[in-house]
């Protein structure tokens, strides 16, 4: 049985579509509005739960508010098979909120109010120490406080858990925590923020990966949108191409990729096979609107 521990954020995503993004000082009427269940941690936990095999266990350590968004998300996650133990609803705080503006050309801008996500401190994380005990993989992102991310990575590493960091959203400072990261999965922007190298080609990706290896990361997987993902690892280095699909909404593509990657690795797939599995899963996500509701179930993927 595989056991995956996801730690991270949950957000109520308020999504508005525009012909183009409003400029500073400009007010635009949106074409449509919808409220989605999102947040990088939650999206990745949902991806793990939907894509793993029936005998696997997925835990998600997160903080929600005691509000309708928090209640609804929790209910849906339990239906997807995420265990309840790590989910905390904090009194007098609201669930994290993301305001997402999407333009017709696919560009977006996102503003986040952390809400209860900011309450997931190292001390709060320690209350869930038992969930680390049997985990083989820990997957974490950068939407919770930085000291919590460092603490989680350090704790997991000490316990022999394989640590996977999706360094999103992009940050360019405080790289100390990389010494506790086994696998890192930046997109092009995040790879540039971490290394200073603008990633426009496989060669650039390889160069950025070498710098991340120098910081102590064993395996680097740089996602390249519709081009796929570049792997730099002991066993395999090269590009695994994406599937050709008609993308309509890429929100949660990266999150699906990360969840699927960890599921694949937890089932003993090679890094190249796990990235192929992750490409297949996220190719489905980009053909659907929304964040968590766009993430596929295992039976939707080719065997
Ligand atoms: P997002 O922030 O939009 O969720 P991201 O920037 O973190 O995503 P990307 O590199 O854009 O990550 O995409 C992650 C993975 O999703 C890619 O490696 C690829 O497998 C898949 N993907 C993204 N866009 C497309 C596309 N247009 N067609 C097919 N697959 C795609
Ligand atoms: O990765 C997509 C997520 O980023 C959205 O669901 C939004 O909440 C932001 O955190």
pTM: 0.97
Q: What is the reported pLDDT for 174? A: 67
Which residue's alpha carbon is at the smallest distance from atom 13 of ligand 1?
Answer: 225
> 176 alpha carbon to ligand 1 midpoint, in Å?
27
Which residue's alpha carbon is at the smallest distance from atom 7 of ligand 1?
Answer: 254
Do the beta carbons of residue 62 and residue 70 sit within 8 Å? no
Q: Which domains does the chain have, with CATH numbers?
A: 3-9+39-93+116-300 (3.40.1190.20)
Q: Residue 16, class by beta-carbon neighbours within 10 Å (0-12 exposed, 13-18 middle, 19+ buried)?
A: middle
Which atom of ligand 1 lies closest to the CA of 255?
A: 4
Enumerate the known binding-site residues for K(+).
249, 251, 285, 288, 290
Which residues have a Cβ under 8 Å from the Cβ of 267 and sit 6 or more positions away?
2, 52, 53
Helix (H) or strand (E) holding 33: strand 32-38
Which residue's alpha carbon is at the smallest distance from atom 2 of ligand 2?
Answer: 252
Instruction: Provide the edge-to-edge strand list for the sheet that holds 183-184.
Output: 87-90, 57-65, 3-7, 137-140, 162-165, 183-184, 219-223, 228-232, 237-241
Quick one: CA dihedral 24, 25, 29, 32, positive or negative?
A: positive
Which atom of ligand 1 lies closest to the CA of 187?
A: 10
Is 255 one of the annotated active-site residues of the chain?
Answer: yes
Q: What is the reported pLDDT for 71? A: 98
Q: Which of 35, 38, 170, 223 to mutate to test the pocket of ligand 2 (most atoms within 8 A of CB)?
A: 38
- Look at strands 137-140 and 3-7 and give their pairing: parallel
Which residue's alpha carbon is at the smallest distance from atom 5 of ligand 1?
Answer: 254
Per-residue pLDDT tens, the chain, 303 aa: give them.
899 999 999 999 999 999 999 999 999 999 999 999 999 999 999 999 999 999 999 999 999 999 999 999 999 999 999 999 999 999 999 999 999 998 988 788 999 999 999 999 999 999 999 999 999 999 999 999 999 999 999 999 999 999 999 999 988 766 789 999 999 999 999 999 999 999 999 999 999 999 999 999 999 999 999 999 999 999 899 999 999 999 988 899 999 999 999 999 999 999 999 999 999 999 999 999 889 999 999 999 987
> How far from 170 is each of 65, 127, 298, 299, CA to CA, in Å?
25, 28, 29, 32
- What's the CA gap between 226 and 228, in Å, rounded? 6
Residue of 80, 147, 255, 289 marked active site: 255
Any idea which ligand is nearest the CA of 11?
2
Helix (H, G, I), strand (E, B) or coil at 10: coil
- What's the CA gap between 273 and 116, in Å, rounded? 36
Do the beta carbons of residue 166 and residue 259 sit within 8 Å? no
Q: Does residue 169 have a cis peptide bond before it, meaning omega lies within 30 degrees of 0?
A: yes
- What's the CA gap between 194 and 197, in Å, rounded? 8
Helix (H, G, I), strand (E, B) or coil at 37: strand
Provide DSSP, 162-195.
Answer: EEEE---S---S--GGGGG-SEE--BHHHHHHHH
Q: What is the reported pLDDT for 249? A: 85
Any idea which ligand is nearest the CA of 115?
2
């Amino acid at each position: 049985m595989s056991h995956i521990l996801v730690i991270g954020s949950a957000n109520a995503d308020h999504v508005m579509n525009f012909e183009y993004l409003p400029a500073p000082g400009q007010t635009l009427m949106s074409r449509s509005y919808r409220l989605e269940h999102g947040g990088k941690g939650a999206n990745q936990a949902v991806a793990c739960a939907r894509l793993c095999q029936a005998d696997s266990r997925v835990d998600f350590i997160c903080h929600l508010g005691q509000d309708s968004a928090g209640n609804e998300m929790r209910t849906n996650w339990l239906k997807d098979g995420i265990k309840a133990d790590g989910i905390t609803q904090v009194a007098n705080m609201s669930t994290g909120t993301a305001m997402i503006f999407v333009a017709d050309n696919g560009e977006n801008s996102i503003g986040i109010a952390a809400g209860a996500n900011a309450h997931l401190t190292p001390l709060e994380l320690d209350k869930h120490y038992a969930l680390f005990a049997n985990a083989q993989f820990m997957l974490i992102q950068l939407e919770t406080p930085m000291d919590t991310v460092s603490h989680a990575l350090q704790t997991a590493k000490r316990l022999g858990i394989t640590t996977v960091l999706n360094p999103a959203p992009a940050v360019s400072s405080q790289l100390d925590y990389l010494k506790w990261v086994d696998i890192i999965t930046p997109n092009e922007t995040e790879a540039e923020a971490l290394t200073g190298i603008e990633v426009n080609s496989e060669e650039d990706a390889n160069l950025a990966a070498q710098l991340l290896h120098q910081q102590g990361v064993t395996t680097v997987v740089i996602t390249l949108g519709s081009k796929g993902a570049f792997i730099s690892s002991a066993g395999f280095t090269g590009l695994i191409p994406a599937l050709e699909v008609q993308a309509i909404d890429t929100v949660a593509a990266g999150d699906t990729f990360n969840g699927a990657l960890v599921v694949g690795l937890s089932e003993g797939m090679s890094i190249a096979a796990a990235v192929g599995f992750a490409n297949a899963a996220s190719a489905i996500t980009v053909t659907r609107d929304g964040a968590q509701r766009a993430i596929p179930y295992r039976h939707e993927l080719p065997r």
